[in-house]
Structure 1
């Protein structure tokens, strides 16, 4: 039982699938549209393998098929491929439009996350060690003094001497 579920993260699982089924999965370059039902095909080929769990496989396939490079591969008229790289059903316009919508939404979310990080980064650069600020701890803001500023966290000292590490978004004012 020492081998039970060796592969646990999505990147490792996709690398394993690319090694096992190189005509279907890739870790770099252009992705190929996968046959609908590929999960079941993989499960039947692995036949109770202890390399990965069904849950982790499902999550890895979800991550793979939601990646930007995969969504770019979904084009009307292109064939989906099975595990051996053989062509299967043709992608229709509705499937292509769905993939394009998913891609658009994913890019918008990434843009929003980037803006939030930039905003937090600007907030950190305006703070200085020794400044007194208020932070939200629980559901109440408390007055603290900044004692250290790190890349993504700020160390603060509460009046009684206790030190806390907080995220920039928990700081509410100077």
Structure 2
């Protein structure tokens, strides 16, 4: 299986498998539960092909079978499919529970990564100190702070003037003082 031209990334490999085995693999919609031992079946079927390495194929299959879309497809009583889409073994309760546990852990990790990303993407917001009309401050708009001048202070809102002449009303927690 060695060659100068090999698929190297998991997405390319899965796309190749979808092309070769459209009744088994899919890129969109509901995934089909794969037959246990499908890795060996692929190697046997594509033994003449030089575009896949065993290691990269294993990594791509792992990515495919750990995707949320695939894990949702693992339901007790459903049939697994072979490379031609023919029904194979039935999924049992234990396999479904394992898939649900993997799905739960994956979602939790994704949630933590998203939380960490949000935390790291915003500059720290400092509590505004005694603000007064005419002060130049920065306002957090989206991900970028913008330099503005305070033109009016009300109880829960502060009116600011952006350099272009546009006026905005912002909450005090969006103001970053120098």
CA contact (8 A) 2:33 2:79 kept: yes
Please list every run of 5 or more consecutive structure 2 residues that lacks an aligned counterpart in the other structure: 127-142, 144-178
CA contact (8 A) 2:6 2:53 kept: no
Name the residue aligned to 2:168.
none
CA contact (8 A) 1:5 1:53 kept: no
Q: Deviations over 1:23-63 (max 9, x none)?
A: 00001110000000000000001114211100000000000
Name the residue aligned to 1:89.
89
Query: In the aligned structure 1, how far is the partner of 2:73 from the partner of 2:5?
Result: 30
Equivalent residues, number: 126
Q: What secondary structure is seen at the aligned counterpart in 2 of 1:89?
A: strand
Pairing 1:121-136 to 2, within 5 Å after superposition = 121-122=121-122, 124=123, 126=125
Name the residue aligned to 1:46.
46
TM-score, scaled to structure 2: 0.67
Q: What secondary structure is seen at the aligned counterpart in 2 of 1:35?
A: coil
Name the residue aligned to 2:57.
57
Please list every run of 5 or more consecutive structure 1 residues that lacks an aligned counterpart in the other structure: 128-150, 152-174
Name the residue aligned to 1:107.
107
- Higher relative helix content: 1
**Structure 1 segments of 4+ aligned residues over 6 angstroms from their partners:** none
Alignment root-mean-square deviation, CA: 1.8
Q: Deviations over 1:114-139 (max 9, x none)?
A: 110111122x3549xxxxxxxxxxxx
TM-score, scaled to structure 1: 0.69
